[in-house]
A = this chain, B = another copy of it.
Amino acid sequence: MPARSSATPARSSATPAEPLRVGLLGHGTVGSAFAALLDERAAEIERFNGRRPVITGVLTRSRGSFDDVLADADIVVELMGGTEPAREYLLAALRAGRDVVSANKQLLSQHGEELFEVARERDVRLRFEAAVAGAVPVVRLLEESLAATPIERIHGIVNGTTNYILSEMARGSSYEQALAEAQRKGYAEADPSDDVSGRDAAAKMAILARLAFGVPVHLDDVPYEGIEHLQADDLEHARELGLGLKLIGAAERRGGAISVRVHPAFLYAGHPLSSVSGPFNAITVESEAITEITMSGPGAGGLQTASAVLGDVVSVMTGGARPPAPPLALPLLEDVKSAFYLHLDVEDRSGVLAAVTRVLEEQEVSIKSFVQRGRGAGEGVRLVMVVHPLPESRLQQALARLAELDSVRSAPRAIRVIEEEFL
């Protein structure tokens, strides 16, 4: 055990308490940032909480043994990533009565219930603020502050990489240019597929849905759609309609069921998430009692994540929240109602508009706003419209029927539109 620095005695108790022994699994970017931050803040944390956190063991790919780290630790901090062996280690730590902090969204979105159950059985803490939105404390908000109010809906920008790319596209870049720029600035990885496909956001929404609604949601239960297929002119036309484009994670009650999903969506200008630009995260939580609360901050860089992990360590010291209660059984909805933006490339000749609107009418698709724009000689015409909320399955049927029209030149494109409801 390292010697206690005599320059920073515990002020809040007469006899200094034992240090809190932290076992660290993983020592990559986040792990080493966490170790450095803990060191820097140890004296201050002791002053506030009466105990000094000290790293007593580190497991990396090349050195250390899990059993040794566990034996010397009061709390285990997992920053390895991936599902195995992280799952095995954390189950062992919880079973051995250790509190656990993890930043591992893949693990929690796929094996969360198993971990929660063991934590409840052993009455230990399992904290995972950093798994969702870095330093934006949405996990805590859902677990603690909003315990008093039934949550109706969460809308989140929970992937900073895609939000950066869409912000660049809104300024005129193509998808490819924006992605390359994100990679150059370190906002996107060399293989960006987990981010741009929406899968990273889906894992985070699975975790948030569990906290908000008490329903176990596995990553595989979350339908997700990414941003790879978006085109710069979708953003341009949308601007004419007063909309902004974001990759949105949604988790909400619909009747007696829950819907959780990730997809690009247009937001009206007044929506709290519509002004969030660049590599940021932001989450809006809606309930009847509070109307809505929005939290925003930088996406999860190493230092932000380390800061959230250390915050979880401190919350374990102060006796914070318990693991989630046993799960509820509410059905997960597949087919939800949404408003949509539609984009059609059609021939520039008479009768085309009538044919299109006839199909929409037959499928009971009701138009809210509409823009028609010529593309220049021989280039056809673009029809851009926003339609009132309808079941997504019916919209898909309408798109299939539209694609069959001779006058429609390429596959119709559809993007969901989110309207404000509470305010």
Contacts and interface: CB of A to CB of B under 8 A. Distances in A.
Given A291-B297, A298-B292, A314 B12 contact: no
Chain A, interface SS category: mixed
B129 A314 contact: no
A298 B291 contact: yes
Nearest to A317: B147
A20 interface: no
B37 A148 contact: yes
Given A145-B137, A147-B45, A148-B45, A290 B314 contact: no
Contacts of A48: 147, 325
Nearest to A45: B147
Contacts of A293: 135-137, 295-297
A421 to B, nearest CB: 15
Interface string A134-162: 11110011001111111000000000000
A13 to B, nearest CB: 10
A166 to B, nearest CB: 17
Kindly state the interface size class of chain A when it binds its partner. Answer: 35 or more
Interface stretch (A192-200, A300-308, A403-411): A300-308
Contacts of A298: 290-292
Number of copies of this protein chain within its complex: 2
Contact of A307 (B290, B304, B306, B315): B290
B149 A145 contact: no
Given A310-B148, A318-B144, A326 B296 contact: no
B289 A147 contact: no
A41 B289 CA distance: 12
A297 B285 CA distance: 10
A318 B304 CA distance: 26
Interface of A: 11-12, 37, 41, 44-45, 47-49, 120, 129, 134-137, 140-141, 144-150, 272, 275, 287, 289-298, 303-304, 306-308, 310-311, 313-315, 318-322, 325-326
Top 4 nearest A-B pairs (CB, nearest first) are: A148-B310, A293-B297, A137-B145, A319-B319
